[in-house]
Chains A and B, each alone.
Chain A
Amino acid sequence: MMKKPRSTEKIDIPEHQVLTVRALCKTYFQGDTHIRAVDDCYLTVERGEFISIIGTSGSGKSTLLHMLGGLDTPTSGKIYLAGRDLYDMSDKELSAYRNKNIGFIFQSFHLLPVLTAKENILLPQKLAGGTRYPHYFDTLVEKLGLTDRIHHLPSELSGGQQQRVAAARALINKPAILFADEPTGNLDETSAKELISLLLSLRQELNQTLVMVTHDKTIAAMADKTYTMQNGILRKA
């Protein structure tokens, strides 16, 4: 396998800019024609900001979020997280970076079925070496109202509880940036409201950056900036 050439480009990114996206494209090849799921996207997110991205299904917003979080590879363009080119890192570096600096909340929770709620939450911390923020678990669990459910397996929890466990897992390493892909999509209205208010209060407490993809215009309206995505093109709302 050919080794990916390292970029020699050096850019100056102000310290308050936690996420910088330049000319990002994701193209799926369809015979002779191309489908641009994400088309020439530019984005700048400052530390502590809450960004929401709304758009119709298939507009490319989840694809964009996955690329921003290092879960999917762009066809072209650059993503700088805290000044580091995300896709210039090796798999090992990117994995370590994702573990320590990025939190991800998925619509369908993606909890590990063989681990209890506590083990699910603590897993990223264990992966990071286990010494980071040793007492944060108790605080987080209490805030998220999971104290009496931490020894249960995901299959024994309700949807709302599972999503709170997923949120705790995403936050346990106090990541600089939190990505949420329609986190309320599988929740009822009450659970959705609870989760969003919890995420926002924790964000303020830790001065975290939150990038959320959502269909819910009420949630989108709470954000500092709202972007719309249409046919792969990102625009400020």
Chain B
Amino acid sequence: MQQKVFRVSLFYALRDIRRRPVRFLSLSAIVCAALVSLTLLLLFMEAQWRADVMPDREENYHFTLDNLSEKEAAYAESLPWVQAAYRSVSPTNEDRICLRIRSDWEHCTESGELVRELIRKIGLFRREPYAAMYDTVYDGAMAKFHAYWYGATEANGLTDTRFAETQAYTHLIDHKVTNQVFMQKTVNSYVIQRDFFTLILMFCAFTAAAFTILIENDYRRSFEDFGCLRALGFTNGHLLCIHLIRSFFIYISALPGTFLVSAGFLALFRRMTAASITEETAYLMDVTAHLPIPLMLILFSLMLGAVLLGTGAVCFLHRREEIMSLLRGVQRMQISFVAETSEAFAESDSIREYGRLYLRRSRRSMLYTVIVTSLVMPLPFHLFSSLIELLPAAGTQEVYPVFLYTLLQTLAVFITTLCITVTAARSAVSMRARELGILRSLGADRDCIRTLIYPAAWIQSLHITICSLFMIIWTHIVSRNHFDFDVKAEAGSGARLINTLLSDIFGSALFVIPATFLGTVLFLRYFFRTPILTSMNDKE
């Protein structure tokens, strides 16, 4: 049965993809490519950032102790901060004990059991991508350590274990051996932490919301086709399957674009920051080193899940649409509503009264727009707060590339968010095209239409602002440890909280309200240029 549903849905979906005007499909593929690229690059940036910051926090080091007695070696191995001890064979046949110090597995993997299990299964943590670089880099780092160690022991004439331990700690804390091997390893441990998955979830919400708006627009344009399919015997399950197949193909077709955009962006970034990139840090530009293939597969799967979730949400929202309403190609406008508004006109003769009644009737669709748009907001503001945190140190050679990278990405995300918000606002008001066309045919002038539309836009934008604010604050709470390093630590926590809140309130209001009005104005501009009859037929 399921196979039959899939087969007939695939039949229709493939023809729909092939023969539909390319506008929707290409737009969807471009949006999808842009979103996945943004996700990939931002996560890469996060990983890179962590590589710079986390070696100091996680004590993620290897070091070697020479000429220890068995007793001393056993003692070293039993130390709580030593994760593993292993013997290495040196060219001079010296007996060396190597210690690996890092936080334990449970501490590293703050993520849920499910995620941990998934990562274990695909072998991400066991993969050790640093292995290839190990020989070349390790020698340099160890030589530095040995010089320090021998210098210290000769000067003191001591070889006892307590001293070895103290020296090792001192070395770790003071010298912060942050060679590339350690950075790579740190990134590996970072990608299995909660922060990383919080960020991925934010991206998924962003993508799902963007796709919901895109598919919703398309769904409403294809009401008649879906009504026809339902009349022929297609169930809601078939329609869902058709949409999911179509979204899947859009996503797959967007992947080559994703890689092109990512590569192009990184090339541009390298060129812009050429002066700040040294040989030692050049490897940090290598996406595959930081986001290994299994992780990228997880990311792509999660993004696909978000795309399908967004698509499914639209089908779910329209599942109760009457077949005849779909066939007529317009959303249901009940006779009772028309009658109610007619009575209102007779009593108050007021267009505002009409608008108020319409708002009351269409509150469900407004709620939907508010929720979807609010889901998009946390990500740009999250990035914006990172940018603000980096601002004081933006001029330094170490932070400049990270700052520039964040700036470019934040701009890209804000532009995407602006497009999504404008489209959502335009889409919400374009649902009223038919009604407005009828009003115009009855003699309502432009001012009258504006009087009807703008209060609704105000109410909608205020609701979006409030919901977005809650979402943004929630994101701050969830990722409160995210930027917990020196640059940020300078500000007091109380002052920081107030600053963050104020910037969120003003930021979301200053962003959402103009974007919502832009969408409304763009629709009205189009609407006033469209012949009344076209509007009444609800055809865009």
Residues of A within 8 A of B (CB): 28-31, 35, 66, 69, 71-73, 91-92, 95-100, 104, 106, 110-115, 119, 123-124, 126-129, 153, 169
Whether A112 lies near B327 (C-beta < 8 A) is no
Residues of A within 8 A of B19 (CB): 113-115, 153
Query: Which among B227, B231, B340 is the interface contact of A98 at CB below 8 angstroms?
Result: B231
Nearest-Cβ distance from residue B7 to partner chain A, whole angstroms? 8
Q: Which of A35, A106, A115, A124 interacts with B233 by CB under 8 Å?
A: A124
Contacts of B444 in A (CB 8 A): none
Inter-subunit contact B231/A73 (CB<8 Å): no
CB distance from B272 to the nearest CB of A (A): 45
Known: A110-B231, A169-B232. 17 other contacts (CB 8 A): A29-B336, A30-B336, A30-B340, A66-B323, A72-B322, A73-B322, A91-B236, A95-B234, A106-B327, A110-B327, A114-B16, A114-B18, A115-B12, A115-B15, A119-B15, A123-B11, A123-B12
What residues of chain A lie closer than 8 Å to B72, measured between beta carbons?
none
Contact yes or no, A112 B228, CB < 8 A: yes
Are B234 and A127 in touch, CB under 8 angstroms? yes
Judging by beta carbons under 8 Å apart, are B225 and A123 in contact?
no
B7 — nearest CB in chain A belongs to which residue? A126
B231 contact set on A, CB distance < 8 A: 69, 71, 98, 104, 110
| Whole-angstrom CA separation of A58 from B336 in the bound complex | 16
User: B interface, how many residues as a size bin?
Assistant: 20 to 34
Partner of B323, one of A28, A71, A92, A126: A71
Q: What chain B residues lie within 8 Å of A112 (beta carbons)?
A: 12, 225, 228-229
Q: Is B324 an interface residue (CB 8 A)?
A: yes
B306 to nearest A CB, angstroms? 26
Cα-based distance from A92 to B335 in the complex (angstroms): 28
Q: Mark B1-28, 1 if CB is under 8 A from A, else 0.
A: 0001001100110011011100000000
Contact of B336 with A31 in the complex, beta carbons under 8 Å: yes
Q: Which residues of B contact A123 (CB under 8 A)?
A: 8, 11-12, 232
B12 touches A35 (CB 8 A): no
The answer on a CB contact under 8 Å between A28 and B233 is: no
Contact B233 A110 (CB under 8 A): no
Contact B339 A30 (CB under 8 A): yes
How many A-B residue pairs have C-beta atoms within 8 angstroms? Tell me. Answer: 88
The answer to whether B339 touches A31, judged by C-beta atoms less than 8 angstroms apart, is yes
Residues from chain B with Cβ under 8 Å of A73 in the complex:
322
Q: How far is the CB of B230 from chain A (nearest CB, A)?
A: 7
Query: CA A74 – CA B233 in complex, angstroms?
Result: 19
Chain A residues with CB under 8 A of B229: 112
Fill in one digit per residue for B208-232: 1 if any A CB lies within 8 Å of its CB, else 0: 0000000000000000110111111
Q: Which residue of B lies closest to A100 (CB)?
A: B233
In the complex, the answer to whether A129 meets B4 with C-beta atoms within 8 Å is yes
Alpha-carbon gap, A180 to B228, bound state (A): 14
Q: What are the 3 closest A-B residue pairs judged by CB atoms, nearest first?
A: A99-B233, A30-B339, A28-B335
- Chain B residues near A98 (CB-CB < 8 A): 231-233
Interface class of chain A by DSSP:
mixed
Q: List A contacts of B355 (CB < 8 A).
A: none
A72 to B323 alpha-carbon distance, docked (Å): 7
Contact for B327 among A28, A71, A91, A100, CB less than 8 A:
A71
In contact, B322 and A91 (Cβ under 8 angstroms)? no
Q: CB-defined interface of B484-502 with A at 8 Å, one 1/0 digit per residue?
A: 0000000000000000000
* Cβ-defined partner of B334 (8 Å) among A28, A119, A153: A28
Judge if B534 is at the interface, Cβ distance under 8 Å. no
Q: List 13 A-B contacts (CB under 8 A).
A: A28-B335, A66-B324, A69-B231, A95-B235, A95-B238, A98-B233, A110-B231, A112-B229, A114-B15, A114-B18, A114-B20, A115-B12, A169-B232
Please indicate the chain A residues that have their CB under 8 angstroms from the CB of B327 in the complex. 71, 106, 110
Residues of chain A with a CB closer than 8 A to B507's CB: none
A residues in contact with B398, CB < 8 Å: none
> A69 vs B327: C-alpha distance in the bound complex, in angstroms?
14
Q: By CB atoms of chain B within 10 A, which of A92, A100, A113, A119 has the most?
A: A113
B343 nearest in chain A by CB position: A31
How far in angstroms is the closest Cβ of chain B from A77? 17
* Contact (A126, B11) CB under 8 Å given A71-B231, A95-B235, A112-B229: yes
- Complex partner residue of A28 from B11, B238, B336, CB under 8 angstroms: B336
Residue B129 at the A interface, CB < 8 A?
no
A126 touches B8 (CB 8 A): yes
Q: A31-B340, A129-B4 are in contact. Are A96 and B20 (CB under 8 A)?
A: no
B235 and A72 form a contact (CB under 8 A): no
Which residues of B have CB within 8 Å of A127? 8, 232-234, 238
Q: Contacts of B237 on A, CB cut-off 8 Å?
A: 92
Contact residues in A for B323 (Cβ distance below 8 Å): 66, 71-72
Contact of B230 with A95 in the complex, beta carbons under 8 Å: yes
Measured between beta carbons, the chain B residues less than 8 angstroms from A110 are 224, 227-228, 231, 327
What chain A residues lie within 8 Å of B343 (beta carbons)? Answer: 31
Q: Please measure, in the bound complex, the distance between the C-alpha atom of A111 and the C-alpha atom of B19, giving whole angstroms.
A: 14
A110 nearest in chain B by CB position: B228
Residues of A with C-beta under 8 A to B238:
95, 127
Residues of B within 8 Å of A29, CB to CB, are 334-336
- Partner of B232 from the list A28, A92, A99, A114 (CB cut-off 8 Å) is A99
A71 proximity list for chain B (CB < 8 A): 231, 322-324, 327
Smallest CB-CB separation from A29: which chain B residue?
A: B336
B235-A92 in contact (CB<8A): yes
Q: From residue A207, how far is it (CB to closest CB) to chain B in Å?
A: 22
Bound CA–CA A167/B231 (angstroms): 14
Q: Which positions 298-341 of chain B face chain A at CB distance < 8 Å?
A: 322-324, 327, 334-336, 339-340
Q: Which residues of chain B come closer than 8 Å to A91, judged between CB atoms?
A: 235-236
Residues of B within 8 A of A31 (CB): 336, 339-340, 343
Cα A114 to Cα B236 with chains together (Å): 19
Chain B CB count within 10 A is highest, among A72, A96, A127, for A127
Complex: how many Å from CA A99 to CA B231? 8
Cβ contacts B269-283/A at 8 Å (1 or 0 each): 000000000000000
Chain A residues, CB < 8 A from B339: 30-31
Measured in the bound complex, the distance between the Cα atoms of B227 and A31 in whole Å is 29
Q: Which residues of A contact B340 (CB under 8 A)?
A: 30-31
> How far does the Cβ of A111 sit from chain B's closest Cβ, in whole Å?
7
- Contact A72 B227, CB 8 Å, known A95-B233, A96-B233, A114-B19: no
